Amino acid sequence: MNSAIVRALLVRGMLAGLCAGVLAFAFAYLVGEGPVDAAIAFEEANSHHAHGGEELVSRSAQSTVGLATGVLVFGVAVGGIAALAFCFALGRIGRFGPRATAALTALAAFLTVYLVPTLKFPAQPPAVGNPDTIGQRTSLYFLMIALSVLLGVAAVLLGRRLAPAWGNWNASIAAAVAFVAAVTVAMVFLPSGENAPKGFPATDLWEFRMASLGVQAILWATLGLLFGPLAERVLEPRPATATAGRGAELSAPVA
- Residues 67-109: tens digit of each pLDDT: 899 999 999 999 999 999 999 888 877 778 889 999 999 999 9
C-alpha to C-alpha distance for 45 and 228, rounded to whole angstroms: 48
- Is residue 203 domain-resident? yes
Answer yes or no: do 83 and 168 share one domain. no
Answer yes or no: do 3 and 77 share one domain. yes
- Is residue 56 domain-resident? no
Answer yes or no: do 11 and 102 share one domain. yes
pTM: 0.82
pLDDT tier, 249 (very low <50, low <70, confident <90, very high otherwise) = very low
Spatial contact of 72 and 9, defined as CB atoms under 8 Å apart: no
Please state, as a whole number, how many other Cβ atoms lie within 10 Å of the Cβ of residue 120.
20
- Is residue 248 domain-resident? no
Instruction: List, for residues 204-236, the tens digit of each pLDDT value.
Output: 888 888 999 999 999 999 999 999 999 999 888
Spatial contact of 98 and 228, defined as CB atoms under 8 Å apart: yes
Answer yes or no: do 31 and 145 share one domain. no
C-alpha to C-alpha distance for 171 and 79, rounded to whole angstroms: 30
Cα angle, residue 67 at apex, residues 62 and 70 outer, rounded to 5°:
125
Answer yes or no: do 154 and 181 share one domain. yes
The helix or strand, by DSSP H or E, that contains position 187, with its residue range, turns out to be: helix 168-189
Range 55-66 average pLDDT: 77
- Is residue 112 domain-resident? no
Answer yes or no: do 72 and 163 share one domain. no
Answer yes or no: do 4 and 98 share one domain. yes
Domains identified in the chain, total number: 2
- Is residue 244 domain-resident? no
Answer yes or no: do 154 and 80 share one domain. no
Answer yes or no: do 188 and 215 share one domain. no
C-alpha to C-alpha distance for 63 and 75, rounded to whole angstroms: 17
What confidence score (pLDDT) does residue 44 get? 72
Spatial contact of 12 and 234, defined as CB atoms under 8 Å apart: yes
Answer yes or no: do 77 and 178 share one domain. no
Spatial contact of 75 and 82, defined as CB atoms under 8 Å apart: no
Answer yes or no: do 84 and 38 share one domain. yes
Answer yes or no: do 97 and 141 share one domain. no
- Is residue 185 domain-resident? yes
Domain extent at residue 169: 130-195
C-alpha to C-alpha distance for 84 and 88, rounded to whole angstroms: 6
- Is residue 5 domain-resident? yes
Would the pLDDT of 248 be above 50? no
What confidence score (pLDDT) does residue 255 get? 41
- Is residue 57 domain-resident? no
Range 49-66 average pLDDT: 68
Instruction: List, for residues 177-204, the tens digit of each pLDDT value.
Output: 999 999 999 999 888 766 666 777 788 8
Question: Last residue of a domain, which of 168, 195, 222?
Answer: 195
Question: Last residue of a domain, which of 144, 176, 195?
Answer: 195
